[in-house]
Chain A
Amino acid sequence: MNHRGLAALAAAALVHAVGFQTIAAQTTGTLDLGGSWVDYEGFLGSAAVSLTPTVQYDAPTVSLGATGSLVVFESGNHILQALAAASWRTPAIGSLRGEVSGVAGANKYEEASTFTHALARSRIHVTRTRAGGWVGAATGQSSFSGASGTPFQIEAGLWAALDRLALDLTATRTWFDEIEYADVVGSARLRELSVTFHGSIRARTWSANGGEGLYGEIRAEIPIWRRLVALVGGGRYPSDPARGVLAANYASVGLRVSAVQGRPRLSSQIARTLTRSSDEHATLVPGQARIEVRSVDGGAFTLRVRAPGAESVDLAGDFTDWNPVALTRVNGDVWEVQLPGAPGLYRVNVRLNQGDWMVPRGLRAAEDEFGGLVGILVIAER
């Protein structure tokens, strides 16, 4: 199992949240040991080994789960991950049921990147005996060390369970910072001759800065002896810009030992999206702005400001004699202005909707000696 498998495994901690099975409380512990070949976008392919302990508690209205993972690549570099999730279901009112869940996690790749997140999700389920659906929304906080953002996601899904086959279809729309995307995911679970197969196909049908494409994964759980299960899987998954996870192709094999007799993981994987929510945040935070230099051409340069939700964007700086200059909306949240100026160092502030002057992201903020902050813009020769 590669580190990606952690998300799926953690999802299992919440799967029962939507399965609505009437079961007695039960605690299950598993330990996965795996080897994989993973080919991250932009990197050479590498072998990796992983160790993934998981503990899960399920009761009729509450599910709790926690998992950790250590993945070591052949270079010696490693990823550490931890995730905890909890879910509470309301009593059913007819075929309706509410659900509130939360997930918090962190991962760290060497000293190069650390990501933490905490998300809350609510759903309303319509449940029949063998089919159902839900709508939901999630938000929370994602943090990359000092920088943080507020992801927001809406979703709708359908599921159906036959004798040995469970299907679900999920559509999500995600906003995070400058990233937006819409995914449609179809997944299936088939249990045949005591072997359980999981398969999914994901289409990122629309995206702004989040990549597009078709992705698929498949995994088989093959019982070997009592509490020992062989895991075989592989596929391709998309990048997760919010978490700093690169798209990758992978193939993995592993062994799972259950500390307690495992029980069939029914459910239609609807809750897969619960943990996906921890992976696929995306935000758009009104009131924030990011600036970049689009081009430098002779004695002029073009500045572009991305300002979600803004109705007007003004800029004032050394090159405008500190007179406000209105930017022109190029499309959607993107605004531009072309200004005369030679390469050099300039001080600049931006304001949205005639509000306070601020330092947009993308610039170093410095104290301006006048009781506020000013952005330092470097225009380089190109």
Chain B
Amino acid sequence: MTSTTKWLVRVLGCAAIVTCGMVASAGAQDARLEGRVPEAVRTEVDVIVEGARAAGLPTEALIDRALEGASKGADGTRIVAAVRRLRDELGMARDAMGSASTAAELVAGASALRAGASADHLNLLRSQRADEPLTVAAAVLADLVAVGVPVDTAVTAVLALAEGANDTEFIAFRRNVERDIALGASPVAALGVRLDLAAEVFTTDRAPPPSPRKP
């Protein structure tokens, strides 16, 4: 191959790479944003989304966040800031929960982080529930913190449940705690009572339903 030919190949190769990149970039633009947000905002969101995709983070939630902001009439700055913040939280959640985490797990993890849980908490949860989906557990953790349970207490409770509870039981647990709180119990007391009841169920190997108690 002559030097001229080599030069031509290099030029064509670079052109192909640039073209493919542009096509890929264009393809990365989410059509759902079209007409929903100003073009400048869309461009910024696209850059964030593309960066997240390149980093292996889920992007659907980012688009959803931009759409939510648009539907609520938020200005572009707020929308971009919200999308960027979510991307950062998803990244933290992925670092804490592992790269094998699903998109739903990372979204739930990000929600827990925002509620006050730490990356260490999520990491603990992952290690305790290595083979089970973390989505609901992380969501319940966030919910408990949101209803006033101190974050460390909520983490302890979720970790305790994580060994034996399935997703439906997690949901029921959260619902019962919220109900107890609504009925007047303090968040910590409600959590304690429900945790005791859950422990009874799990320690009996789920065989018999819990017996009625005396009032």
Binding site for B on A (CB under 8 A): 38, 40, 42-46, 48, 73-75, 77, 108-109, 111-115, 144-147, 244, 316, 318, 321-323, 342-345, 347, 357, 364-366, 368-372, 374, 376, 378, 380-382
Contact partner of A114 (CB less than 8 A), chosen from B81, B140, B184, is B184
Whether B146 and A115, one on each chain, are in contact in the complex, defined by CB atoms closer than 8 angstroms, is no
With contact pairs A318-B64, A321-B32 given, residues A145 and B183 touching in the complex (Cβ less than 8 Å)? yes
Contact partner of A111 (CB less than 8 A), chosen from B71, B103, B185, is B185
Smallest distance from the beta carbon of A43 to chain B beta carbons, Å? Answer: 5
Whether B193 and A112, one on each chain, are in contact in the complex, defined by CB atoms closer than 8 angstroms, is yes
Residue of A nearest to B68 (CB): A322
Whether B108 and A369, one on each chain, are in contact in the complex, defined by CB atoms closer than 8 angstroms, is no
Binding site for A on B (CB under 8 A): 32, 61, 64, 67-74, 78-79, 81-82, 85, 103-104, 107-108, 111, 114-115, 133, 135-136, 138-140, 142-143, 146-147, 167-168, 170-171, 180-186, 189-190, 193, 211-215
Whether B142 and A364, one on each chain, are in contact in the complex, defined by CB atoms closer than 8 angstroms, is yes
Whether B215 and A40, one on each chain, are in contact in the complex, defined by CB atoms closer than 8 angstroms, is yes
The 5 closest A-B pairs by CB, nearest first: A114-B184, A344-B104, A113-B183, A380-B167, A322-B71
Contact partner of B107 (CB less than 8 A), chosen from A45, A48, A112, A345, is A345
Smallest distance from the beta carbon of A245 to chain B beta carbons, Å? Answer: 11
B214 surroundings in chain A (CB, below 8 A):
43-46, 73-75
Whether B72 and A372, one on each chain, are in contact in the complex, defined by CB atoms closer than 8 angstroms, is yes
The CA-CA distance from A285 to B167 in the complex, in Å, is 32
13 additional contacts, CB 8 Å, given A371-B74, A381-B167? A46-B214, A111-B185, A316-B71, A322-B68, A342-B104, A343-B135, A345-B111, A364-B142, A369-B78, A369-B85, A370-B74, A371-B78, A380-B168
Smallest distance from the beta carbon of A303 to chain B beta carbons, Å? Answer: 14
Residue of A nearest to B69 (CB): A370
Whether A146 and B181, one on each chain, are in contact in the complex, defined by CB atoms closer than 8 angstroms, is yes
Whether B183 and A368, one on each chain, are in contact in the complex, defined by CB atoms closer than 8 angstroms, is no
Whether A113 and B184, one on each chain, are in contact in the complex, defined by CB atoms closer than 8 angstroms, is yes
Whether B74 and A344, one on each chain, are in contact in the complex, defined by CB atoms closer than 8 angstroms, is no
Whether A364 and B183, one on each chain, are in contact in the complex, defined by CB atoms closer than 8 angstroms, is no
A112 surroundings in chain B (CB, below 8 A):
180, 183-185, 189-190, 193
Whether A374 and B68, one on each chain, are in contact in the complex, defined by CB atoms closer than 8 angstroms, is yes
B139 surroundings in chain A (CB, below 8 A):
345, 376, 378
Q: Of residues B68, B103, B213, which shows the largest number of chain A Cβ atoms within 10 Å of its Cβ?
A: B68
